[in-house]
Structure 1
Amino acid sequence: MIRNLRVSGRVVALGLPTMWGVLAVVFFAVGTGLVLHVRRTLLRELRQARKVAAAAQDALLRPMPPRIDGLNVAAAQLSADRGSSVGGDLYEVVATDHGVRVVMGDVRGHGLAAIGTVAAVLGSFREAVHDEPELAGVLRRLDRALARYLRGRADGLVAEEFVTVLLLEIGRDGELRALNCGHPWPYRLLGTHVEPLARADPLPPMGSFPLPPDLPAAPFGQLRPGEALFLFTDGAEDARDARGRFFPLEAALAEALRDNSLTPQSILGAVFTSLLCHTSGSPTDDIALLALRNERQPRRPSGARDSDTCGSAARARATTTHPHPTTHR
């Protein structure tokens, strides 16, 4: 609406808002308020969803304590799906009456779609390691748990699902045994030297074929104090750079040992940094790494005497020392 106002003999045109202009201003203000309210609500719900997801992921791949029964341990996982810290890789280290038992596995596929299979296998492992005196019994329990889970899946893709699994057992004396179903063998780290734990062909992946009736765990000598093992999933070795070159994991490990102290944490940090640089920060498959180092004190030979040969002092120590060693888990 345009109105005229006469001032000092002149006519001045005043542009006063029409009804439609007023309504436009009102709708704009209301719309802006609604948008801000919806944005705040969505951000609040997103933060809550992230908290729930983090709790679920921690329950699945639990944060690993730095020491387990005299072993220094570190593990890390990188999902191929952005926004998720859990994918198709699995790992766990558990101290049991049968020794420290370790699992490293890789579910076919990656990202969030593989989490159900990861949960089935890890849940079975955490129970079986305490119940089964032999690694073969643990592996059979995992195989049955996987079969039950796949039969209950609604998508019907049972025949296409499999899991690679590496089982390790480290006894109190460092004796090392392993069972391997289609998984890459770990590396043994000796000072600055890197070598594969084994070169033999593993069994087929779990779920692809029935397990053989005879499953003896293969012995691999001892993991002596100061020695370490480096476990990984094939996403690490298969990672490629922009030119299609595979990640040189063994060389990266050797470089990490030369530049850092032999601690699982420093080794993991160095290898992950090299891997992310190699892939420009965008690996196409899930990656899990686990390093453990034997930091137990060497056992004294049986019959060895204290350096203090004074009879009274030796007898005093003998009477005050607890006769049974304590194992911290």
Structure 2
Amino acid sequence: MAYVVAATVPIVLLELMIDDRTVRLIPLLILLPAFPAAVGTMRQTVYAVGWVLIVIAAVLIYRPLPSSYNFAIVMVLAFVLGILCVVTCHWRIRRERELLRTRSTAVALQRQMLRSLPILTDRVIVDGVYLPVEADRLVGGDVYEVVASPYGTRLLFGDVQGKGLPAIGAAFAVLSAFREAAPREPTLTALVDDLEQAVVRHNVFAQQTGEPERFVTALILGIDTSMETQAVNCGHPPPYLLNAGPVAPVQLGDPGVPLGLADLTPNPRTVAWFPFPPGATLISCSDGVTEARGITGAFYPLEERLGAWADISPWEVADHLAEDVIRHTAGKHRDDITALVVRRSD
């Protein structure tokens, strides 16, 4: 409301200072209630409309228009636009409340699906950080899971296309399939095939209900007693290995297609192997980190930052990373920030 009053003063002063009666600035005030209608409350919008009507009427009585007809036209326009501003504000607030309720539902579902960090198995400890994007009122589709199986510890890092409840539904399908298949399937490729079929079944159901089909980028790891770790990459950013020596992304070869899109390529998904010795740390980040852009448009220098944090505790890396990404983007990151730290037990 203070901004509306402040904007009114120079317009009124200019109106009174201009000698030419054919140039009238006071009708411009009818646009001012649009600002509180866009960002303010209902009370602020109503007060702005009333203030504008009073000021316009007072100025036009003090400095009349050429005819009473012109006076009536200006007042009617001010009144009608004021009513439209109030209605617009009402619908905007109602829509925001609906989005907040949807977000609360999605957050509750997500908390039920994802286990709290840290997660401990006989092979690894997994910790990290997950920060939903603040510019969006819908929860994103980043997912993770760790399952101890007879074949070692299996880990899933994934990101469902899109946001909101539909993305949560696809995430639930992937997590359920992973939890069921990880202790059962002897090979990582068989496990990924089960995840693929879960996403395909979900998309068939979504199509029947009118929801868009979705794909899931995922990184699936298998850690056993071997000094090398198995990985199947389904379009997910590769992890980084923190150990003695320079920090670099793990070489997993060409990434496969995301889950749900296997029919688009004749090439089967394959297993890559990479060294993951005891005491080493893996950092897996979502594309909200790897594709974060600064004010100048530069991508976030993830590899450089991880190299600079080689001496700190691995459990502090994820927090440092999230805070640094927010600084890099000036708080305007457009996607969820997810960073998971996997520490292999000695």
TM over 0.5: yes
The number of aligned residues is: 245
Match of 1:217 among 231, 252, 271: 271
- Note if contact 1:61-1:86 (Cα within 8 Å) is conserved in structure 2: no
Letter in 2 for 1:99: G
2:139 corresponds to 1:63:
no
Displacement after TM superposition at 1:52 (Å): 6.7
Cα distance change of structure 1 residues 284 and 113 upon mapping to structure 2, 3 Å threshold: farther
Structure 2 residue runs of 5 or longer lacking an equivalent are: 1-99
Cα distance change of structure 1 residues 81 and 127 upon mapping to structure 2, 3 Å threshold: farther
Greater fraction of residues in strand: 1
- Note if contact 2:122-2:345 (Cα within 8 Å) is conserved in structure 1: no
Matches within 5 A, 1:107-256: 107-153=160-206, 154-158=209-213, 161-191=214-244, 193-198=246-251, 200-210=253-263, 214-221=268-275, 223-256=276-309
Stretches of 4+ aligned residues off by more than 3 angstroms: 47-55, 81-86, 110-113, 211-216
2:331 corresponds to 1:281:
yes
Structure 1 residue runs of 5 or longer lacking an equivalent are: 1-46, 297-329
Cα distance change of structure 1 residues 81 and 149 upon mapping to structure 2, 3 Å threshold: farther
Superposed CA deviations along residues 224-271 of structure 1, whole A, max 9, x for unmatched, are: 11111111111111111122111111111112224x12x2x2111111
Greater fraction of residues in helix: 2
Displacement after TM superposition at 1:149 (Å): 0.9
Displacement after TM superposition at 1:75 (Å): 2.3
Pick the structure with greater CA Rg. 1
Superposed CA deviations along residues 167-211 of structure 1, whole A, max 9, x for unmatched, are: 100112343001111111111111362111115211112222327
Displacement after TM superposition at 1:129 (Å): 0.3
Partner of 2:310: 257
Cα distance change of structure 1 residues 216 and 178 upon mapping to structure 2, 3 Å threshold: same
Cα distance change of structure 1 residues 131 and 70 upon mapping to structure 2, 3 Å threshold: closer
Displacement after TM superposition at 1:215 (Å): 4.3
Q: Secondary structure at the match of 1:219?
A: strand
If asked which structure has higher relative contact order (CA below 8 Å, sep 6+), I would say 1
Cα distance change of structure 1 residues 280 and 186 upon mapping to structure 2, 3 Å threshold: same
In 2, Cα distance between the equivalents of 1:201 and 1:246?
22
Partner of 2:344: 294
Q: Secondary structure at the match of 2:297?
A: coil
Share of identical aligned residues, percent? 37
Letter in 2 for 1:219: W
Superposed CA deviations along residues 263-310 of structure 1, whole A, max 9, x for unmatched, are: 2x21111111111111222310123211111122xxxxxxxxxxxxxx
Letter in 2 for 1:129: A
Superposed CA deviations along residues 126-181 of structure 1, whole A, max 9, x for unmatched, are: 111011111111111111111111111122523xx211111100112343001111
Letter in 2 for 1:80: V
